[in-house]
Each structure stands twice: as C-alpha cells, then as structure tokens.
Amino acid sequence: MPNQLSDQSSLYLQQHADQPVNWMPWSVEAFTLAIKLDKPILISIGYSACHWCHVMSEESFEDSYIASIMNRHFVCIKVDREERPDVDQTYLEAIHMFNQTAGWPLNVFCLPDGRPFWGGTFFPKEDQGQGIVPWPQLLMRIADHYKREKGELEENASNVVSNLLHANNGLSSGENEWSNELLLHSAKAICDSHDDQDGGFTPAPKFPSPMKIDFLLAIRESQAVRLNKTLAQKIDFSVQTTLTQMGNGGIYDQIGGGFFRYSVDTQWLVPHFEKMLYDNALLLSTYSKAHQRFDSSLFKEIVFQSIDWLLSDMKNKSGGFWCSVNADTDEGEGQFYFLELSDVAEVLEPDESKVFYNHYEMSNAGNFAEGKLLPIKIHKEERETDNCKEYKNKILSYRNNRILPSRDKKKITTWNALLIRGLVDASRAFNRKDWLQLAIELNEWMTENLLSGNNEISSILFENNQLSQLSFLDDYALWAESLLGLSSLSDWAEPGSSIQYIELAEKITLSMIERFKDKQTCGFYFSEKRNDNPAQIRKKFWYDNATPSANSSLLRVFSTLYHLTKKEIWLREFREAQTGYTTLCKQAPQGIGHALSSMTEEAVGISSLSCPSNQIQKIVKKLSQNPYRPIHISSHTDISRTSINLRIGQNFEEEIKDSDQLIEKLYS
C-alpha cells in the first residue's frame, strides 16, 4: 500500500512511495503528528541520482522488519534535497556539529518540533566491521534514549539550534576591517592546501573545486600577483595540475563527456557515477577560463565534449535542462560506462583498437573491480587525434545501445542559471556565437516558465509540469548573476539586448532584497519566513557547497550592478555584504571561493566597453586569445558613432582606437 509520497512531484520521493516505511513529505502535518504522538522525527534526505541513497533504500527501507521499527518509534519524513535545499543545508550544518560525516543519504534524528539532536549519513543494514552502527540497532538505541533521557536530547537540540542561529552572524565584521591584502592571503592558503602530486585541494574523496579555481584564475590577473612570480607560478601549477588530472581521470566520462560527481580516491580514477547539471555547468565555466590562460588542447576538448553531452543527454526539447543522471542501472552502479576488451574488438578493427588502446588505459587485467575497464587517458599531454575521436564516437554509439541510466527530469532554476553562465564563458573563450545563442534561448525559456509577473521565481519545474510553490535565495542571486554575465556579451548576438538583461537582473535583485534580506545585520536568509517547521530555524549560508553560496554570488551582483548603473544603492549593498566575509577570508578561505572571486574582480576593476556592433566580433576574438577578465561589451545605440569607449572600474574612462589597444589597456 503506498505511503504519503505517492502524489508528490519529486522523482526521489516517488522512488520511496511503495516502501513499507510510513514516509510523510516535509509538512506541517508531519510535525503536528509527531508532537501529538510525542515521537522523535527521522528526517531522511537524498536525491534521485545518489548511489548510496539507493543502497540504503534497498537494504533498509525496503525491509519490512526495519520499516516496522521505524514506523513504531518515529515519524518518518523523506526529503528531496533538490526540492528543499533549505532543509538539506540546515541539517547538513547540524550534522557537522555532531562531528559526523555529512553527505547523502543524510539521516537526522529530531525532536517532534524538528530540532535536531543527532544524525549521520549512510548506515548499513548489518555490521560490516567498519565501526558503523547497523541501522536497526541505531534506531532502537535512539528510540530507547528518547524514552529514558528526553531531557538530555532536548538540551542537545537547544544547543544545536543556538549554534545554527549564531552562525548566521557570528563572523560578520565592520566595513573598515576589509583589506584587499586578505585576497592574497586567501590565494596563498588555498595553494598551500593543494595536492601537488595528484591535484585537488582535499584528501580523498575528492570533489571538483570550480569555485576555488575560478578565484585563483581571477587573482592571477591582479597586478599584485603578476609582480609576485612565486605566487603566480604556484597558482598556475595548482590550476593546471588539478584540471589536467581531473580531465584525464575516471571522474570525467572519457567516452561520452561530462563529469561525475566525485572521486573516491586521490588520483581521480574511481568515481561515483552520478552526473549532476550543476557540476558540469560550473566546470564548463572553469575550463573555459583556464583555456584562455593556458591554451590547453585538453581543456578545449573537455569544453566542446561537455557541451555536446549537455545538448544530447540533458536538454529537454521543450526547453531547459534536466538536473541529473542516475549513478545506477539494473546492472549496478556505473555498469553503463564500463567496457571490456571484447566490446572494443566488436566495434573497432584491430588497427583501430591499437590506436584506442594507446590513448586510453585498457588491458586484460582491467582497471576497476572485477576486471572492468573504465577508459582513462594514458598520455596526459597528448592531443586527441581525429582518428581517436572517430573511434571514440563508435564506442559511444555502441555504449548508447545499452539501457541508459535514468534522468531526473525536473528542471532546477539555480542549476539552469549556472549553465547560462557556463555557456557565456565558453562562448567568449572559444569565439562561439552559437553557444551564446544557446544561453540566450535558455534564459528566454526560464523567463517564460519560471518567473512570474511580480518577479517571483519558482525554484523547480517538475517533470509533470508542476511548478514548485517555493523559491530560495540562490534562485534569485545566481539567476541575477547569470543575467549580468549574459548582458556582458549578448550584444554580440543581438545588438541592443544587454540593457534588457541588466534591467531584469535589477528587478530580480530588488525582489530578492524584499523577500530575503536581514534588515538588522548583514547577509540574506536562504529562505523566506514560513510556518512549515515549528522549530523556525531560518538560516544564512556563507560557505560554498556543491554550488556557490548565494550570499557570495550577491557580491558579484551588487558590484556589477553598481558598475553598470552607477546607483549608490548597489555600492552600499556590496560594502555591507562584504562585511560578512572579512573574518572568513582570514579563517576559512577554502570554503568561500566564489566570494573571493567576486571581491577580486571588484578589486582588479570590472571593465565595460561600448562600441559599434560591427566591431564586437573582432573584439571577442581578441579577448578569447587572452586570459579572462570581466568585461561588459555593449553596442552603441547611435549607429553613426564609430568610437570605442572603455571604462575600467569607476575612475578610468577613455576612447580607444581598436581591439589591439583594448588588449594593451586591459593587460598592461
């Protein structure tokens, strides 16, 4: 008999609708029931593409005995983290306070009003000798402790909530405490954390770090780093090593394109196989900017192949991009991507196979579990030949005859906004107007389907065409940021369009201020004030997670709007927002890469250029041949004007002759 998830729009919730657990969706009704019955709440959070979510679901939530324990002792709430990122991020932060590993599935035990007192991630059904309590034993321990020591749990929960609320403002500072020297300190700290052998900035498991790398690329263009050869070389080495190791390893789908979510080992060889739109949107931007600095054939290959994958596998014909590709098929996790030598022999001729084997790591022994082969590049610096591309495409066609991993076909506003930015950055880096046109079309679809007449955004369009009734800070902040990025280049494809995107970004930002701004101190709340959780935990998030922090994104929105409109409100908002990051720059720069990028670009000087529309093509080509700098290009509305006007920051403005002089001014 279905539980209460059967009528939910979320694919992840639907995947649990026929389980024997009496799952309820996140709702007032769930908390009311828990309070009435005086039962603790189990909140289980995950997403449809998550491998370990599937494992725990099949092991424990499908088991009728374990389900009976859960139903008897708990009110069980199932949450899709992509539908309720506010719930997810709040409880992730709480889990860190218990000194537990935080990830997905996330299982949080709460008082009946939703205040958390303990939790963790994956729990096995049986003891596996790894020091992790089996799930049924954990359930019984917590149920017993709730009956015997409820007062202790209430004290724990009160302390957790106090710490969560304190973290909203606990590190903010005064405006006069900021110094641009903090940016150099942050760059050095991030480089010091770099794994110089295998790339990356953390031990295993390793996740892509696009926000950190974007910051390093941004500060690399500052005069202070240009004059500091030691730091400049360290930045170049860190960026190139990490992006090269990732691009050659198993975390990247060498045959079909697109990055998997993370690697379990230090060398980027063994991934978990879910593919997320946000990772690939962010890395599209990062690899494009890195190519502008290093002119790498590998980085170019990754950008081109990733866009091909996005268009073939993630784009909905009616508009917008789906959110994820499942890690699992009926054959098991990642089985869709594995090859055997017999597969290659079936597709390629012997001489073709030799070329393929020479480019990718393929042997009888296999490089994965049970002799399976996951193609990994052998010759790290070798450019992919046309022949190798042809053979790879034959393998791709062969692979696509298998049962494809399922897609979660909901369209998430924030992740589509990130893709707009990625496409704009790729368009600029590779002089591809058609990619810019894709960004324009995606934004048009979002405006028509996700934005209401009063500038209120829906966070999700589900596969059943139902719109989420919720919106969050990052929907507004990251879309506004992408609109401003789009405005920086759109006149190349559609002369005169840039002003429309600037105006829409400004409207969305003003709407966001009304809904999310903390009127008492700096920063913006992630969610609007609602009554669906009696604990009333309303959070601000400063750190980047898998996607950029919305508060960090707003730094770029405010500084760019001030540069383009000269309105003092945006300068005030930028300076106030910056006070939330001064202490974090000193204490935890590794967690705020996007904020650091935004503040670096403001410090170096955002540029804008006004010119005749028939000169934009030549200018874009010149810019693509040089390292990335933020520059907004607009065409003259007066077609009789032939001058090119350049402004860098707020104080420097002059008329220049041509694109050569532009490059001289930007990079001298």
Determine the Cα–Cα distance for residues 616 and 631; give it in Å rounded to an integer: 12
Angle formed by the axes of helices 277-294 and 413-430, to 10°? 20
Distance of CA 347 to the CA centre of its chain: 36
- Does a structural domain hold residue 82? yes
Average pLDDT, the chain: 92
Tell me: the pLDDT tens digits for 562-584? 999 999 999 999 999 999 999 99
End-to-end Cα, the chain, rounded Å: 70
Q: Which of 39-53, 168-182, 614-628 has the lowest mean pLDDT?
A: 168-182
- The pTM score is 0.95
Same domain, 469 and 580: yes
pLDDT band at 422 (very low <50, low <70, confident <90, very high): very high
Closest CA to 126 of 47, 43, 23, 55: 55
How would DSSP label each residue in 443-497? HHHHHHHHB-TTSPBPSEE-TTSPBPS--BHHHHHHHHHHHHHHHTTHHHHSTT-
- Does a structural domain hold residue 163? yes
SS (H, E, C) 71-135: HHHCEEEEEECCCCHHHHHHHHHHHHHCCCCCCCCEEEEECCCCCEEEEECCCCCCCCCCCCCCH
**Eight-class DSSP state of 382:** P
The parent domain of residue 387 ranges over 337-401
Highest mean pLDDT among 328-332, 384-388, 402-406, 488-492: 488-492
Same domain, 142 and 213: no
Same domain, 158 and 199: no
Same domain, 375 and 475: no
Angle formed by the axes of helices 593-604 and 181-192, to 10°? 140
Determine the Cα–Cα distance for residues 336 and 330; give it in Å rounded to an integer: 10
What CATH code is carried by the domain that includes residue 39? Answer: 3.40.30.10
Same domain, 63 and 145: yes
Same domain, 67 and 196: no
- Does a structural domain hold residue 421? yes
- Does a structural domain hold residue 465? yes
Tell me: the pLDDT tens digits for 451-493? 998 899 999 999 999 999 999 999 999 999 999 999 999 999 9
Helical ranges in 470-615 per DSSP H: 473-487, 490-493, 498-516, 550-565, 568-578, 582-587, 593-604
Domain limit, last residue, from 169, 198, 219: 169
Q: Which residues contact 45 (CB under 8 A, 6 or more apart)?
A: 78, 79, 80, 81, 87, 88, 91, 104, 105, 106, 107, 108
Domain limit, last residue, from 401, 425, 450: 401
* pLDDT above 80 (res 47): yes
- Does a structural domain hold residue 302? yes
Q: Which residues contact 354 (CB under 8 A, 6 or more apart)?
A: none
Domain limit, last residue, from 567, 588, 604: 604
Same domain, 136 and 53: yes
Closest CA to 339 of 382, 401, 387: 401
- Does a structural domain hold residue 358? yes
What CATH code is carried by the domain that includes residue 451? Answer: 1.50.10.10
Domain tally, the chain:
4
- Does a structural domain hold residue 542? no
Closest CA to 601 of 582, 629, 574: 629
pLDDT band at 318 (very low <50, low <70, confident <90, very high): very high
Same domain, 578 and 508: yes
Q: By CB neighbour count within 10 A (0-12 exposed, 13-18 middle, 19+ buried), where does 50 fall?
A: buried
* pLDDT above 70 (res 379): no
Same domain, 448 and 384: no
Tell me: the pLDDT tens digits for 13-33? 999 999 999 999 999 999 999
432 neighbors 426 (Cβ within 8 angstroms): yes
When pLDDT is averaged across residues 231-251 and rounded to a whole number, the result is 96
Same domain, 659 and 637: yes
